[in-house]
């Protein structure tokens, strides 16, 4: 995004927006779903789980667990996403990290 702002873009304002501004992600995701529905013309809702492999345990929600991404038990985060899908396109409209019991 910063590259698209060009030389005269306010990169400090962009950094503030990304790291410090307060906005409700649920509203953004709901608007995304609402706007993409007529574009995608979904015929299915797809729920997908994905493992994000991690070398250590410093990231949020990292634990040793099975993930199909690695095909074994390893340190990872597990994410779950909801997609609107049709034969020609799909888009993720909601997602979150799985919170392990530990």
Sign, CA dihedral 91-99-57-1, equals positive
How many domains does one find in the chain? 1
pLDDT cut 70: percent of the chain above it: 92
Per-residue confidence (pLDDT) for residue 39, from 0 to 100: 94
Evaluate whether residue 102 is within a structural domain.
no
84 touches 76 (CB < 8 A): no
**Does pTM surpass 0.75?**
no
Evaluate whether residue 63 is within a structural domain.
yes
Evaluate whether residue 19 is within a structural domain.
no
Check residues 18 and 64 and name the one with the higher pLDDT: 64
Residue 1 confidence (pLDDT) above 70? no
Evaluate whether residue 14 is within a structural domain.
no
Evaluate whether residue 3 is within a structural domain.
no
């Amino acid at each position: 995004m910063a590259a698209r702002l060009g030389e005269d873009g306010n990169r400090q304002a962009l950094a503030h927006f990304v790291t410090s501004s307060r906005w409700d992600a649920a509203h953004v995701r709901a608007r995304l779903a609402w706007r993409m529905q007529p574009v995608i013309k979904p015929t299915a809702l797809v729920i997908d789980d994905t493992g994000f492999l991690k070398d250590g345990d410093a990231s949020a929600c990292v634990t040793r667990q099975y993930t199909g991404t690695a095909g074994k038990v390893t340190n990872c985060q597990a994410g779950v996403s909801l997609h609107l899908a049709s034969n020609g396109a799909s888009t993720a409209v909601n997602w979150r990290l799985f919170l392990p019991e530990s």
